[in-house]
Structure 1
Amino acid sequence: MMSFRPTRRDALKGFAATGGVAVMGTSGCSEEPEVIAEFHHGVASGDPEATAVIIWTRVTAPGEASVLWQVAKDEAFAEIVSKGEASAKASSDYTVKIDVRGLEPGQGYFYRFLSGRAVSPVGRTRTLAAKDATTLRLGVVSCSHYGFGFYNVYRELAKEQDLDAIVHLGDYIYEYGPDGYGGPEAKEIGREQEPPHEIVTLDDYRMRFSQYRRDADLQAAHAAAPFITIWDDHETANNSWSGGAQNHQPDTEGKWETRRDAALRAYFEWMPMRDPKPGEAFHRLHRTYEMGTLATLHLIETRLTARSGEVSYEDDMVYFETAYDVSDPQAPLVLNAEDAALLPAGRAERLKTPWRESDGAAITDYKQVREWADTGLPDGYVYKPDLARFREEVLGDPARELLGEAQLGWLAGELKASRANEVPWQILGNQVIMARMDAPDFTVAFPPEVIEPAIRDNPYTRQWVERTKLRLPINPGVWDGYPASRQRLYETVREAEASLVVLTGDSHQFWANDLRETPGGRRIGVEFGTSSVSSKGGYDYLAADPRAYDITEETLLRDVPEIVYCETRHRGFILLEITAEAVEADYRAVSTVRSRDYTSSSLKRLRVTREGPGELSDLVPV
């Protein structure tokens, strides 16, 4: 008696013809044992083009597994437009990515995978808009720490119909262990991260991605629409830059480049996006998405390519100084700045000026100032920050970079090409806040009964609040910490006459900002900043008293000129609707991420219109 075992090709033909499950093995006299495979991580699509899209899955199996894939115009898979087979291999952590080409612009599709007797969930995807498209709809998200809360935001996003894409602006995973950021909160709700330590190696990053991608709500969002993604810092390590990261210690964790490359290898394996071309560095990632004739979306990389190290307000601060003529060491003379500049090298010495706290008097006696410079100040004396010099010489150093010359040159060309093609909107997918945000003095904004409980037991919060008296940028790790680089970007935007809309993540709060080329000067664009999917907001640390949120928002709107709207208490996403005439941002929030029992709402809708080449209207409520 003879038995027939279908080949993979036969199975694919049968699967395509029936829309059913192709059996890759048979009972009885099979020549090869059946591979038991499962799709624990769902499906995803992303990196769309007008005629192509990436589809993704991961196979859980004892070893290498064969995978069949289908793309169809209908959910029943009666009209299949593309199909093929691939292998899930250990070298890519058993992930499978297919670059499906030859599709139609602006068309919705369904896709699925099978391996052995297992069939994946069905995903929906979409190619980029056709030239006759009149509307685009984008979801905008960022910052999805697994331990801080449930993914209610992803669940809500998955319910949205007819999304062209979901733009994820970074911090898709977080690297911390159980003792790090979010550890206590994760334990409270039973969402401790895997592996149970800070992730450093390739296996670590793969395991962390695997845990995140087993979440049903994240799987639903991925299955609902294609993702367009860029990383921020936590995909590698906190406050990463081109030469390292705040949360990377070479003495115990090895070379930064080794960790960075391991993290990015896992990122490319687990995200539905095209891999770098041969010879391209993983970390040099910037791309343009042409969305019909309505918009171009330009994703920039502001972390790993060219970013200078972050300025520290403690370690890098400059202080008022007194200059001395030390030609006669026995009788040094105090000099004014002009005279000090005229002295030859070796004759002038500058020392930080001590100030007596009781009466504010400056101490200029050389012998005393010199002694205290070596031994430290006694009680009752302080050094005063020279904020003007700090802004000019440290923050304003022209060498400080976020984009780098090569990436800025690329962006300049992309913006000009978009304008030459008469595309109405140039949208920048960006990780960190771009608007100018000097801190209001929160030491006087809050009544004592509101602020004191928040700072009593938290040294970091207390230090942060105290530092706002200096009225320096709220966060030196964003564009405010790199003003010369921001100015170069603004000049590029102005020269291209771009209608600039900036999309921003990272901050864990909602923002709408009016971007000005100079303080109070010409508008260069608008910024829509999304809150987080789950990560805790910075102002939550001030909110032992719930009135802190209202006071914070009122103070920011009053004292920070470029802020048009801010909301500091909710997690959520932005739904962006784009037409040739206007861009509207709908700020969507969930009531909580600490429970699966929640409600959702729209907090605010804002609209901007095009007034002329490179000119935009005010942001106005809809």
Structure 2
Amino acid sequence: MTHLNRRDALKLGGTGAALALMAPAAASAAPDPLFAHGIASGDPLPDGVVLWTRVTPVPEALPGSGAGPQIQVSWQISEDPGFASLAASGVFATGPDRDHTVKVDVRGLDPGTAYHYRFAYAGTYSPTGRTRTAPAADAAVDSLAFGVVSCSNWEAGYFSSYRHLAAREDLFGVIHLGDYIYEYGTGSYGAGDVVVRRTAPEHEIITLADYRIRHACYKTDPDLQAAHARHPWLIVWDDHEVANDAWADGAENHDPATEGSYAARKAASHRAYQEWMPVRFSPDGAIYRSLKFGSLAEVVLMDLRSYRSLQQGGLAVDDPARTMTGAPQMAWLKDTLAASTARWRVVGTSVMISPLVLGSLTAEALGPIAELLGLPQGGLTLNPDQWDGYTADRAELLGALNARGTGDTVFLTGDIHTSWANEVPLKAGTYPISPSVATEFVVPSVTSDNIDDILGTAPRTTSLAIESAVGVTNRHVRWLNMDDHGFGVFQIGQSQTRMDWYFLSDRKNPAATARKAVSYTTAHGTAKLKRAWG
């Protein structure tokens, strides 16, 4: 990854050597086959942002092919949409060793500023993108808004959610909480093997070339390209970026006997992800990180797949030796939240942290009887892939939040293809007598199957009984929708945060409309939810 600021550009000669490669005969806003996979930006800092594209310099240099020459790609960033004056510019060397992707971590920019950016190769400009830097660390910020998405399965439908987010003028950026791609072969994932559009490659992805081709397939989607070009993204992975129900040393959807080393597969997927996504990794390759937005908010993005123990049910969920985060990430998370001076702490967690139980009473509420019956302390675990399967880690994190006595932490969650508004209880079995220490907003899938898709029933029929049963024994769940696809818009203000859920008319229709369904708020210092609309 290349860093180049204004000073570096001047060393290269200003409008001389550094810009000589950026001299197309005629600039065009239309996409070109050279830039068939679009452009993107992400991880805004007060002085910088990551810019991304992929170039196809010759026809045979297809994604994953390993073919094609080493090339020099130029880039520009400017406050002026006409690029009459440049804030920074430079040249990036790429080739088949990095699948001809270009990823520049630009620094030396002004805080809280909107920018335009573009790339150039062989006399052709890429489309122009818009991005922005974060406010200065101590800047007084009244409000921010982010689109929030997860679980975008190519074969299950069209990415209309991205189109609707691209059209919004009120967003600072987009937060993607994982499952940006899916690893399965055509027709191998989803209800009834329904394939709205076929993915590439058509087999399950395992090798580095496979993962590169799959990322490239997704980035040909016009709605995804539009959302990337319009907003900077804050992204973290979940399991399907590698394989279903991934953990540190394996995955449910990985068979070493037929698919080889999981370590090799994991390394290949991570390398392709680093190449193809506008994400800033730490020097040691970690993806968990935090981004600050003035004095208003700090966004913490977690990695809940790379370090976790194998998923298990029963009493194993309470085993303190098992971990969701890994000890270094947990220590970093607690320290980051404790040290944050922001008014709001926003935690992007790819799987739900709020507990989920069914039955008349949780094991916790049964008290000593739970021990006699050999039940997990948090109740019978329905989904050990969530934080419910790692109760010691959850108790450690929520205990740290409670000890600080603040109600200013909001979890943003994806993964389960459904929509939830939760208060996060310190002890679910005695809630609401015991306190809520945070709130959680779970966004629906962009396309991936939910309850009505899986059951093959009409929306808002069978799911209503399931939602009612969940509500009876989970008093911290304030609202739940198990049927609809769509996205969230998360608004952060001085006095409250708010999530607006938007649902699509039909994931299988590329022209699907979106309607606002419901809104919930949490007031500063309360860790409680209130319905605000719908």
Please tell me the TM-score bracket, short chain as reference. Answer: 0.7 to 0.9
Is it true that 1:503 corresponds to 2:415 in the alignment?
A: no
For the 8 Å contact 2:21–2:74, the answer to whether it is kept is: no
Q: 1:210 to 1:186 in 2, by over 3 A?
A: farther
Q: 1:173 to 1:37 in 2, by over 3 A?
A: closer
**C-alpha distance in 2 between matches for 1:105 and 1:264:** 30
Is it true that 1:405 corresponds to 2:327 in the alignment?
A: yes
**C-alpha distance in 1 between matches for 2:33 and 2:17:** 16
Aligned match of 1:477: 385
Question: Which sits farther off after the overlay, 61-70 or 246-255?
Answer: 61-70
Residue type of the partner of 2:51? I
For the 8 Å contact 1:37–1:118, the answer to whether it is kept is: no
Q: 1:545 to 1:573 in 2, by over 3 A?
A: closer
2:353 to 434, 437, 456: 434
For the 8 Å contact 1:69–1:112, the answer to whether it is kept is: yes
**C-alpha distance in 1 between matches for 2:319 and 2:21:** 62
Matches within 5 A, 1:308-387: 308-312=309-313
Is it true that 1:512 corresponds to 2:434 in the alignment?
A: no
Q: Deviations over 1:433-479 (max 9, x none)?
A: 111111359xxxxxxxxxxxxxxxxxxxxxxxxxxxxx833312101
The Cα shift of 1:597 comes to: 3.3
Matches within 5 A, 1:18-33: 21=24
Matches within 5 A, 1:65-214: 65-130=71-136, 131-182=139-190, 185=193, 187=195, 189=196, 191-214=197-220
Matches within 5 A, 1:30-49: 38-49=34-45
Aligned match of 1:489: 397
Aligned match of 2:229: 223
Q: Structure 2: which 5+ runs fail to align? A: 1-12, 59-68, 361-378
| Total equivalences in the alignment | 481
1:302 to 304, 308, 321: 304
Aligned to 1:269, the other structure's residue is in SS state: helix
Aligned to 2:34, the other structure's residue is in SS state: coil
Q: 1:185 to 1:591 in 2, by over 3 A?
A: farther
Aligned match of 2:449: 536
Residue type of the partner of 1:486? R
The Cα shift of 1:237 comes to: 0.5
Question: Which sits farther off after the overlay, 551-560 or 85-94?
Answer: 551-560
Matches within 5 A, 1:564-603: 564-603=478-517
For the 8 Å contact 1:59–1:65, the answer to whether it is kept is: no
**C-alpha distance in 1 between matches for 2:122 and 2:359:** 61
For the 8 Å contact 2:358–2:469, the answer to whether it is kept is: no
The Cα shift of 1:394 comes to: 2.4
TM-score when normalising by structure 1: 0.74
Q: Deviations over 1:532-556 (max 9, x none)?
A: 1111114532342441133333332
Residue type of the partner of 1:122? T
For the 8 Å contact 1:511–1:565, the answer to whether it is kept is: yes
Aligned to 2:200, the other structure's residue is in SS state: coil
Aligned to 2:158, the other structure's residue is in SS state: coil
Aligned match of 2:276: 270
Residue type of the partner of 1:472? L
The Cα shift of 1:405 comes to: 1.7
The Cα shift of 1:183 comes to: 8.8
Residue type of the partner of 1:489? L
For the 8 Å contact 2:191–2:453, the answer to whether it is kept is: no
For the 8 Å contact 1:11–1:22, the answer to whether it is kept is: no
Aligned match of 1:616: 527
**C-alpha distance in 1 between matches for 2:162 and 2:17:** 35
Between structure 1 and structure 2, the one with the greater Rg is: 1
Aligned to 1:76, the other structure's residue is in SS state: coil
2:246 to 240, 245, 251: 240
2:261 to 255, 267, 271: 255
For the 8 Å contact 2:423–2:527, the answer to whether it is kept is: no
For the 8 Å contact 2:21–2:121, the answer to whether it is kept is: no
Q: Structure 1: which 5+ runs fail to align? A: 1-6, 25-35, 313-389, 442-470
Q: Deviations over 1:86-144 (max 9, x none)?
A: 12211110000111111111111110011012211111101113412211111111111
Q: 1:497 to 1:411 in 2, by over 3 A?
A: farther
**C-alpha distance in 2 between matches for 1:15 and 1:167:** 34
For the 8 Å contact 1:512–1:564, the answer to whether it is kept is: yes
Identity across the alignment (%): 36
The Cα shift of 1:165 comes to: 1.8
Residue type of the partner of 2:491? E
Backbone CA RMSD of aligned residues = 2.2
The Cα shift of 1:415 comes to: 1.1
**C-alpha distance in 1 between matches for 2:281 and 2:96:** 17
Q: 1:522 to 1:544 in 2, by over 3 A?
A: same
For the 8 Å contact 2:55–2:101, the answer to whether it is kept is: yes
**C-alpha distance in 2 between matches for 1:79 and 1:617:** 48
**C-alpha distance in 1 between matches for 2:316 and 2:18:** 62
Residue type of the partner of 1:575? V
The Cα shift of 1:72 comes to: 1.0
**C-alpha distance in 1 between matches for 2:14 and 2:338:** 49
TM-score when normalising by structure 2: 0.86
**C-alpha distance in 2 between matches for 1:610 and 1:210:** 42
Residue type of the partner of 1:533? V
Residue type of the partner of 1:407? Q
Q: Deviations over 1:51-105 (max 9, x none)?
A: 1000000000122222111101122222321111112211110000111111111
The Cα shift of 1:8 comes to: 12
**C-alpha distance in 2 between matches for 1:621 and 1:493:** 26
The Cα shift of 1:179 comes to: 4.3
Residue type of the partner of 2:381? P
The Cα shift of 1:579 comes to: 1.1
2:336 to 414, 422, 427: 414
The Cα shift of 1:48 comes to: 1.2
